[in-house]
Amino acid sequence: MSKNSTTATMLDSYVNTAIRNYVREYDESNDFPREIWDNLANDMKIFSPILSEKNHTLSSDFITFIRKIANEFAALSAILLTQGCYGIYSILNFGTAEQKELYLEKLLKGNCIAGLGFCEYKHLNGLENLETYATKTEQGWYLSGKKAMISNSSVADILLILAKVKEQSKEETYGLFIVDPNDSDVLIGEQIEKPGLIGLPLSSVTLENVLLPKHALLGGELLGDVQFANIIKNMQLGLSAIALGIAEGAFKKGLEFAKVKREFGKRLIDVEVHQHKFADLYNKLCSAEAYFDSYPSQIEEDAKFVSRIKLYTTKVAIEISDEIIILIAPFQKFDKINIRRYLKDAEIIENYGRSGNSIRREIAERWLKE
């Protein structure tokens, strides 16, 4: 049995016991799940498969792991994805030898937590609208700006910040900069309240003329636009996996509920109309899974393909969660299954990374040109 297969078996058991129990006890808690984080990173080495990624795409094993976890705890999957994609993947693929030496092992072990800042208060139609600037100095760089939302920010040890570079008489360029959030000129905002993904740290970050050393520039080159495009593509892929995990989790929870005898002596699944509804939901889930599984053959040729997968998987997750709520809501007094959490998580995922409507507009553009 391979190392990743062993991890998958351990993870199945861990998700169905420790993670499920944690969610039951801390369903509405914003606390960072430190003990679970340490177990996943150190004992199960959940990030190790990323080292074997191919074709600048996140490891399929890692993607499967966060999908499994999303069956029970989507916020944790988002935390892990932020670390895996923004931290480990970025340093592994674009970092200098010095940056890899400094961060990679600590990131893999979970001893160093990463976050990435690109979202700003002004809607970004393109990188040219960025209002976070980096200015080159003899010592390195000065970084100024404000990021509206950074995942993992309140627990992060490093932040990857996307900025526009100001250089006289040169075309605009972009860089990704590794920033220490404990720097006195870095201000972490209050935790942003959100209806879903409870437990995912999310806050604004203000950079007030932060002085960075020369080696803070990812890869040592001003290739932030190219690097960011690749990173966000993989982030969308990971979010699609989480959305699929949410859909699976909601369906499983609903089916478990439907198989239990109620006070009226019947199971919901024994009623034909409910059988048909669950069959339709299962088909919808299978179609989303098939679409998702097609990414390896498409991702290199069509960079926008992953965004379309994310749009569809989140739509399916929302629809399945909503339908399950409608099915079991009249009987919820008999049970404490929190299906609404799946719906709220799916709605947040739809607009996380890239909003669903921005992807829809992108798809529609081809027809406007005809």
Residue 213 has, within 13 A of its CA and on its CB side, a CA count of: 6
| Residue where the block lists tokens 């959030």 | 181
Q: Count the Cβ atoms, other than its own, within 10 Å of residue 355.
A: 13
- Residue 231 tokens, joined: 């990173």
Question: What does each of the 370 residues of the chain score in pLDDT, given as a tens digit?
Answer: 466 677 888 999 999 999 999 999 988 888 999 999 999 999 999 999 999 877 678 999 999 999 999 999 999 999 999 999 999 999 999 999 999 999 999 999 999 999 988 888 766 567 878 899 999 999 899 999 999 999 998 999 999 999 999 876 678 899 999 999 999 999 999 999 999 999 999 999 999 999 999 999 999 999 999 999 999 999 999 999 999 999 999 999 999 999 987 767 789 899 999 999 999 999 999 999 999 999 988 876 676 889 999 999 999 999 999 999 998 877 765 456 688 999 999 999 998 877 778 888 888 887 887 6
Burial class (CB in 10 A: 0-12, 13-18, 19+), 21: exposed
d(CA 74, CA 239): 10
Burial class (CB in 10 A: 0-12, 13-18, 19+), 99: buried
Report pTM.
Answer: 0.94
Residue 112 has, within 13 A of its CA and on its CB side, a CA count of: 21
| Residue where the block lists tokens 């972009």 | 174
Helices 305-328 and 272-293, packing angle to 10 deg: 160
Domains defined along the chain, listed by start = 3-113 (1.10.540.10), 115-224 (2.40.110.10), 226-368 (1.20.140.10)
Cα 4 to the chain's mean position, in Å? 21
How far are the Cα atoms of 52, 128, 305 from residue 362, in angstroms, in the given order?
32, 18, 11
The pLDDT, as a whole number, for residue 287 is: 97
Looking at this protein, which amino acid is placed at residue 18?
Answer: A
